[in-house]
Amino acid sequence: MRLFEVGERLPPHHPNCFGCGPRNESGLHLRCHMTEEGVAGSVRLERRHEGGPGVAHGGIVAAVLDDVLGYLLYRLGVPMVTARLEVDYRRPVPLELDFGAAARILSQEGRKVWAEAELEREGTVHAQARGLFVRVDPAHWVRASAAARESIESWTRAGGEGEAGPGPVGP
C-alpha cells in the first residue's frame, strides 16, 4: 500500500464500505484526506441516519468516528481492524448539516495502534472517540468470509480507476 501526501484525498476502504463506500446507498459517504497530524474529512448525515427527532442515531455517530479512525490505515500503510471503540457524546448531531471529522494516532506498540477522533461543526465538538486498532493482513477479510474476496481485491487495487480512489494503494 502506498503512503499518501498531506492534502491528498484518500480512497474508500472498499466500494461498499458503510462509512465511505461510494456504492453503498445507505452509507455515510465520508470523504477524507491526509493532514499533518492524521486524517480529516467531512460528512453530512441524512434523514435515513435519524435517531431522535432531527438528530443522528448514536450508532451512526459512532460509525462516523470509527470510519475516520479507520482512515488512519493510509497513514500507516497497513490495514487495521477496530478492537475497542469508546465514544463520548457531547452534543446532539443535527441532520442535513456538514460536519468535520478528524483522527490522529496517539501511540503504537507492535500490532496495536491507539487513536482518537472527533466530530465537530463550526468549532464545536459534538462527539469524540478513542480506540484501539490492530494491524492485520488483508487476508483477514478473505478468511472471515469468502464473499469478501471481491471487496478485498478491489481494496488492494484501490485508486486505479473510477470509484476506487485517486491512485494506487495496492502492492
Q: Which residue has the higher pLDDT, 158 or 103?
A: 103
**pLDDT per position as a tens digit, 28-64:** 999 999 999 999 999 999 999 999 999 999 999 999 9
d(CA 21, CA 31): 9
Q: Using an 8 Å Cβ cutoff, are 72 and 113 in contact?
A: yes
Which residue do the cell numbers 470523504 mark? 31
CATH code assigned at 118: 3.10.129.10
Backbone angles phi, psi at 73, to 5 degrees: -55, -30
Q: Which of 66, 88, 98, 137 is catalytic?
A: 66
**pLDDT per position as a tens digit, 9-27:** 999 888 888 999 899 999 9
CA dihedral sign, ordered 79, 85, 87, 93: positive
Is residue 18 in some structural domain?
Answer: no
Is residue 52 in some structural domain?
Answer: yes
**Helix-then-strand count for the chain, H and E:** 4, 6
Which residue do the cell numbers 448539516 mark? 97
Q: Domain residues for 141?
A: 31-148
Task: Give the distance between the most distant pair of CA atoms in the chain.
Answer: 46
Catalytic residue flag (residue 66): yes
> Regarding beta strands 80-89 and 124-135, do their DSSP bridges make them parallel or antiparallel, or are they unpaired?
antiparallel
Is residue 11 in some structural domain?
Answer: no
Its pTM stands at 0.82
